[in-house]
Amino acid sequence: MKTMPQEDRPLAGILVIDFSQFLSGPLAGLKLADLGARVIKIERPGTGDLCRSLYLSDTEIGGDNSLFHAINRNKESMLADLRKPEDRARLRALLQHADVVIQNFRPGVIERQGFGYEDVRALNPGIVYGSISGYGEDGPWATLPGQDLLAQARSGLLWLTGSRDDPPMPMGLAVADMMAGTALVQGLLAALVGRGRHGRGAHVQTSLLEAMVDFQFEVLTTHLNDGHRLPERPAVGGAHAYLGAPYGVYRTRDGWLAIAMTPSLRTLAELMQITGLEGWLDDPRAAMTHRDAIKTVIGQHVAARSTDEWLAILQPADIWCAEVLDWPALMQSDAFQGMDFLQKIGRDCGLSLAALRSPLRINGQVLKSGRAAPGLGQDTDRIVSEFALDASGNSADEIVSRHVAP
């Protein structure tokens, strides 16, 4: 597929100053960069974003781990020590040029540094400012660590996931961080559109907990309007606590088969030649009231054939089903390869690695970018020069006072 040039992307010309670390805030910056924004990542000298040393495996790429590369590609890195007046002055000068600011510190931290929303708005009244916290800016959980697994645990997702006899089950990725970053992007884009119409900036706020609660809005809405009854996880092939048989995952002779929707239980039983379901086939409520018994019978029958054999029977009959793939099988599939989802990214030093592109396509073009995550502070000198952040003949105090609104 053809790649859309950076200058043709919707956010070309938008400048984002990103104070955030780890995953949720940098994910928001990544999504904006893929859409064409220029993202300058502010990092502390010496260590930089702590995510640089948060290893998912023992794979190190150019001095940084794979997670940092995944979440910070297509950005620039500028060093700033917020304890130093001259660096604070540089940032205040730079923020006057910004369209968007992102931060995900605990509530009160960035405000104490002098770069909270009100501080930045005094410098730049049209700023669109995005904040991600763990559990909101006030309340009894506000000062607790805003970490992904902990947010999943408090949100109810661990309790909801899996089969009945399973322990609480987290998802196999940092879903709270991902969802919070994605939610923030939605708000930032809306605020940018609003600013283009009425000229006013905005403070967009979300939290890991709010994103996780919203992630469950479908089932929570049922719970809130169903006498506050709690769902029961299925005992067999858990997939969705509110959906009846056959919805779930079943072991086949050589793998696994996911079965979702079917015209009727009778249709499925006839296609699969299942015996033992006769007492439930004409009861529209049986799929839920006898869910575990029905799924047990289906599971015993599914185990007798291979996954491919079942797909050949069920898919032509419009039974919604799928094989369960691991990553190698997914990436070897014609469907995945036709999406042109992989890309090569690198640094000028010769570093090269594989990465994924943005999931979006605009006018039939994909949003790839060949630039890897920046080396720590690699763009500092160029940014300082470009924006004249060290004004000749001015002391740090003079630079600060010049950029503070009366």
Q: What gap in Å lies between CA 168 and CA 164, rounded to an integer? A: 10
Tokens of 350: 């010769």
Please choose, from the candidates 291, 151, 271, the residue with its C-alpha nearest in 3D space to the C-alpha of residue 208. 151
Sign of CA dihedral 145, 152, 102, 74: positive
Please choose, from the candidates 140, 212, 205, the residue with its C-alpha nearest in 3D space to the C-alpha of residue 171. 212
Cα angle: 358, vertex 361, 364; to 5 degrees: 145
Q: What gap in Å lies between CA 199 and CA 99, rounded to an integer? A: 12
For residue 115, which amino acid is it?
F
Tokens of 379: 């763009």
Q: Looking at the annotation, which residues are catalytic?
A: 177
Q: How far lies 391's CA from each of 43, 58, 62, 276, 395, in Å?
A: 22, 44, 34, 83, 8
Instruction: Give residues with Cβ within 8 angstroms of 42, minimum separation 6.
Output: 17, 18, 19, 78, 80, 91
Largest CA distance in the chain: 89
**201 in helix, strand or coil?**
coil
Q: How far lies 51's CA from each of 181, 276, 284, 367, 376, in Å?
A: 15, 54, 51, 24, 12
**371 in helix, strand or coil?**
strand
Q: What gap in Å lies between CA 145 and CA 141, rounded to an integer? A: 9
Tokens of 93: 């000068």
Q: Which residue has the tokens 């032509």?
A: 316
| HEC assignment per residue over 103-140 | ECCCCCHHHHCCCCHHHHHHHCCCCEEEEEECCCCCCC
Provide DSSP, 18-46.
Answer: E---TTHHHHHHHHHHHTT-EEEEEE-TT
User: Are β-strands 38-43 and 60-61 bridged in parallel, bridged antiparallel, or unpaired?
Assistant: unpaired
